[in-house]
Amino acid sequence: MSRTDQPAPATIARLSQTSRAWWQGRGFLLFVAFCAVAPLLIPAVPPLVDLPGHIGRYRILVEAGQAPLARHWAVHWSLIGNLGVDLLVVGLHPWLDVEPAARLIVTLIPLATVMAMLWAAREAHGRLPAGAALALPLAYAYPFQLGFVNFCLAQAMAIAGLALWLRLAKTRPTFCRVLVFAPIALVIWLCHSFGWAMLGVFVFGAEWQLGRMAGLSPLRSALRAALFCVPMALPLIAMAASDDPMVGETGDWLNGVGKAQWIASILRERWRVWDVSGVILMACVLWTAVRSRRLGFAPLLGVPALLGLGAFLILPRLFQGGSYVDMRMLPASVALALLAIRVKPGERTIARRLAIMATGFLIARTVVTTIAFLFYAQGQVAVLRALPALPIGGGVLVLVDEPSSRQWSQPRFTHIAGIAIARRRVFQNEQWSLPGQQPIRPLHSGAAPFESDPSQLVYPRNGEFRTTDFDDAVARFDRCTYGSVWTIGFPAGRAQAADLRLVWHDGRSAVYRLRHGAHAACR
């Protein structure tokens, strides 16, 4: 095949003849790199909702076959599209224990995301656009706040994949990017299947635009883009051959109210007014770029962004047991839309003002995110003071007072008990156990229905979710599996059972143990 003829926009040629602006220099690059990692430098455990649960799973994986965890969980490695950080932590374990390894990797994920965004912007514009910094806080968007670390790693790789696709389109024959992206797609799928789907959407959009720039009709360009993306379907073979396929609920399609909430929650962190104000600012800048004659969009990023936003609108909330599928597409798509904004030639004042505003926004978001993470980390450290009261290697029923999702600021205790697995090697009911999504399975069948997530969550009685009733769990839990109960967010003494005694408590947690002889019937 011949090289793809991609005519460079005239603006790129003009920019190449002028000196670089301050937002295009190495100093600015180092500054945004620091902003990407700054919020995670102080907390010992990054205070993300799901991350403590992931850390617990990492401990199970690195000590597979070793007591006491081998008595509690079986590890079954297979081709699963959800292993990104798991494999990295296992690989680092000879040099770093699971907690420092997880902290290192998770700290690098926003950095990788920011660098991928800037790379994609540079490939599309020729240089970094003036407003690029406006998109960078989306590295800490809601999926990252929720601790979807495998997905966020795959998302960073998908954006970098888009940048690489654009680079190869300019510098290499067509067959190079087609062949190279077959293994790249498989690696991204192994990190997380939704990141692989995102890569396909973005690359298809970029290739469609490349075809249009080469003079093809919209239909022929779409057919060519689809043909070029076929090698990236290699993970479908892995999924078909897997002996642990994904199964679970699929539903909640076209929920307009829910999607409006996801839009408002793109930057959801701790303070509603501040977070929603940031979303409004980004929306205003995008709308201004649409309406203004002084601004425009680079279609090599704009088209993938539009396709990503379309996928967000079409996708359901649940897919084969995976949650928040539609929401995951939104931040990266909005980021590409912001990165696509370009200032037309000759508008130096507009470019400078846009760069100052975008950089100020990045600084403000970084400072507030750092403060919010310190607050969340402080709360989690307080809860973890209960760990010495938990029996090493024993069974612990965990019950968490989980607020309604309508409460903007969450205490982030949902999976905090995962740290008990990492540090005390306990068995507890907080770990996920979804076929095709995790390589571990609990071995205590008698603990059902309180053997895995979400049985640890006790929502308000009038809340939108109902999983576990506190008093029912205390009365019915399997005394042969669990010798202790750890309540988080409930007052001391809340667990009322004749065979339980309170052994430790503070203002946030309480630990109870079965009285002597309670296990006698299990022998």
Give the per-residue pLDDT at 15.
Answer: 43
Nearest residue to 315 (alpha-carbon basis) of 232, 258, 265: 258
Q: What is the pTM of this model?
A: 0.92
Give the position of tokens 């409460």.
Answer: 407
**Is the pLDDT at 208 greater than 80, yes or no?**
yes
Give the per-residue pLDDT at 1.
Answer: 38
Cα–Cα distance for residue pair 308/234, rounded to 1 Å:
21
For residue 368, give Cα distances in angstroms to 87, 237, 239, 279, 408. Answer: 32, 44, 41, 15, 16
Give the per-residue pLDDT at 148.
Answer: 95
pLDDT-derived band of residue 317, with 50, 70 and 90 as boundaries?
Answer: confident
Nearest residue to 480 (alpha-carbon basis) of 379, 388, 397: 397
Cα–Cα distance for residue pair 84/498, rounded to 1 Å:
45
Bond into 68 cis (ω within 30): yes
Q: What is the mean pLDDT of residues 210-227?
A: 92
Give the per-residue pLDDT at 236.
Answer: 86
pLDDT > 70 fraction of the chain, expressed in percent and rounded: 93
Largest pairwise CA distance in the chain: 84
User: Are 49 and 412 in contact, with CB atoms under 8 Å apart?
Assistant: yes
**Is the pLDDT at 173 greater than 90, yes or no?**
no
Q: What is the mean pLDDT of residues 253-281?
A: 91
Does residue 490 or residue 255 have the better pLDDT?
A: 490
Backbone angles phi, psi at 452, to 5 degrees: -155, 175
Q: What is the mean pLDDT of residues 382-405?
A: 94
Give the per-residue pLDDT at 523.
Answer: 60
Does residue 12 or residue 262 have the better pLDDT?
A: 262
Considering the chain, what is the average pLDDT of its residues? Answer: 90
pLDDT 10s digits, 411-424: 999 999 999 999 99
Residues in contact with 335: Cβ distance below 8 Å, sequence separation at least 6, in sequence order? 117, 135, 138, 159
pLDDT-derived band of residue 105, with 50, 70 and 90 as boundaries?
Answer: very high
Give the per-residue pLDDT at 451.
Answer: 93
Give the per-residue pLDDT at 392.
Answer: 95
Backbone angles phi, psi at 14, to 5 degrees: -65, -40
Does residue 236 or residue 481 have the better pLDDT?
A: 481
Q: What is the mean pLDDT of residues 105-133?
A: 95
pLDDT 10s digits, 449-459: 999 989 999 99
- Beta-bridge partners for 509: 488
pLDDT 10s digits, 474-505: 999 999 999 999 999 999 999 999 999 999 99
pLDDT 10s digits, 346-363: 889 999 999 999 999 999
Does residue 236 or residue 364 have the better pLDDT?
A: 364
Does residue 118 or residue 436 have the better pLDDT?
A: 118
Give the per-residue pLDDT at 352.
Answer: 93
Q: Which two three-digit tokens encode residue 500?
A: 């339980």
Give the per-residue pLDDT at 322.
Answer: 72
pLDDT 10s digits, 135-163: 999 999 999 999 999 999 999 999 999 99
Q: What is the mean pLDDT of residues 129-140?
A: 95
Q: Which two three-digit tokens encode residue 288?
A: 């201004």
Nearest residue to 514 (alpha-carbon basis) of 488, 475, 479: 479
**Is the pLDDT at 9 greater than 60, yes or no?**
no
pLDDT-derived band of residue 176, with 50, 70 and 90 as boundaries?
Answer: confident
* SS3 of residue 464 by DSSP: coil
Give the per-residue pLDDT at 475.
Answer: 93
